[in-house]
Amino acid sequence: MSDANRIQASAPPARLKVGVSIFIRKGEQSLWENGVYQNCLFLVMLLLRSPRVESAVLVAGGGDGGPADATSFLADSPVPIIDMATAGQELDLMIEMSAQLAREWSVAFRERGGKIVSMRVGNDYVIDIERMIFDKPHGMLVSGAPYDEVWTLPEYEVSCKPYFASTFRAPVKLMPHLWSPMVLQRAMARAPGGPGFDYEPGRKQWRVAIFEPNICMVKTSFIPMLGCEAAHRAQPRLIEKMWVYNSFHLKDKPLFVGFAQSLDIVQHGLATFEGRFPLYQVLPGKIDAVFAHHWENAQNYLYYEALYGGYPLIHNSHLIGDCGFRYHGFDCEEGGRALQRAFAEHDADLPAYRERARRLLAQLDPEGEDNVRLYTAAIDNLYA
Q: What is the pLDDT of residues 112-150, one digit of tens each?
A: 999 999 999 999 999 999 988 987 776 667 788 899 999
Name the amino acid, one letter, at 4.
A
Separation of alpha carbons 88 and 105, rounded Å: 7
Please name the residue ranges forming H helices in 115-248. Answer: 124-133, 161-168, 182-189, 222-234
Separation of alpha carbons 84 and 105, rounded Å: 8
| Integer CA distances (angstroms), 215 to 46, 126, 173, in order | 30, 11, 27
Confidence band, pLDDT 50/70/90 cuts, at residue 196: confident
Q: What is the mean pLDDT of residues 356-382?
A: 98
**Per-residue model confidence as pLDDT tens digits over 39-97:** 999 999 999 999 999 999 999 987 777 888 877 778 888 999 999 999 999 999 999 99
Strand partners, 93: 18, 115
- The predicted pLDDT at position 142 comes to 79
291 backbone dihedrals φ, ψ, rounded to 5°:
-110, 120
* Structural domains in the chain plus CATH codes: 3-180+365-382 (3.40.50), 193-363 (3.40.50.2000)
Tell me the average pLDDT of the chain.
Answer: 92
* pLDDT for residue 6 is more than 50: no
Q: What is the mean pLDDT of residues 93-120?
A: 95
Q: What is the dihedral of CA 160, 42, 170, 299, to 10 degrees?
A: -20
> Among residues 360, 272, 362, which one has the least CA distance to residue 320?
360
Note the maximum CA span of the chain. Answer: 80
Separation of alpha carbons 102 and 82, rounded Å: 16
pTM of this prediction exceeds 0.85: yes
Residue 144 Rama label (left phi>0; alpha psi -120 to 50; beta): left
* pLDDT for residue 336 is more than 80: yes
- Give CA angle at 187 (181, 188), nearest 5°: 85
- The predicted pLDDT at position 8 comes to 42
In a 3-state reduction of DSSP, which class is residue 23? strand
* pLDDT for residue 163 is more than 70: yes
**Per-residue model confidence as pLDDT tens digits over 234-251:** 999 999 999 999 999 999
* pLDDT for residue 225 is more than 60: yes
- The predicted pLDDT at position 10 comes to 53
- The predicted pLDDT at position 140 comes to 64
> Among residues 329, 303, 299, which one has the least CA distance to residue 316?
329
Q: What is the mean pLDDT of residues 145-162?
A: 96
